[in-house]
Amino acid sequence: MRYCHNCHRITAGKPLFCSNCGCTYRIKLCPRLHINPRAAQICSQCGSRDLSTPQPKVPFALRPFVFLLDAGPGVLILILLSIWMVFYIRQLINAPDNLLPLMLIALALGLTLYAWMRLNRWNRGK
Ligand SMILES: [Zn+2]
Ligand SMILES: [Zn+2]
């Protein structure tokens, strides 16, 4: 999914245009969907002047957030998994008898990641 900084809405999937206001995200597109940089005035491939309006530039502080949305929940789960690893290792050192709750969390995370990967492949296959 992608977050539009023009109208502040999220469009699902990997859209070229915001489904609410019709902005493109980081690029300009001509009517034939050639990709042009934000600074372009004319399409470099077909010469069309009819380029789409890109969304406003994303403030630097928000970029990691936007990146995460673009990358999808898989990255989020990987981050959660690495946080979990830290807890797991600490628990392993301090109280190795009580690992079951952590193992269950890992199982849930693993299953979520697996489900997401299946869903993602299915989406791409369409
Ligand atoms: Zn929008
Ligand atoms: Zn073009």
Among the bound ligands, name the one nearest to the CA of residue 29. Answer: 2
Q: Relative to the alpha carbon of 19, which ligand is closest?
A: 1
pLDDT of residue 17: 94
Backbone angles phi, psi at 10, to 5 degrees: -105, 130
Query: How remote is the CA of residue 51 from the centroid of ligand 2, in Å?
Result: 8
Q: What's the pLDDT at 33?
A: 95
**What are the start-end ranges of the E strands in 1-126?**
2-3, 10-11, 28-29, 35-36
**What number of other Cβ atoms are within 10 A of residue 4's Cβ?**
21
Centre of ligand 1 from the C-alpha of residue 43, in Å: 22
Closest ligand, as measured to the CA of 30: 2
pTM of full prediction above 0.95: no
* Per-residue pLDDT at 123 exceeds 70: no
Q: Is residue 126 predicted with pLDDT exceeding 50? A: no
| 121 pLDDT higher than 90 | no
Each residue of 45-99: pLDDT tens digit? 999 999 999 988 878 888 877 777 777 667 777 888 888 889 888 888 888 887 8
Using the mean position of ligand 2's atoms as its centre, give its distance from the Cα of residue 36 in Å: 8
Of residues 109 and 120, more confidence is placed in 109
Does residue 82 or residue 123 have the better pLDDT? 82
Ligand with smallest separation from the Cα of 43 = 2
In the chain, domain spans? 1-57, 72-125
Q: Structure tokens of 58?
A: 């994303």
Summarised one tens digit per residue, pLDDT across range 27-43 is 999 999 999 999 999 99
N residues, the chain: 126
**DSSP H or E run through 79:** helix 73-94
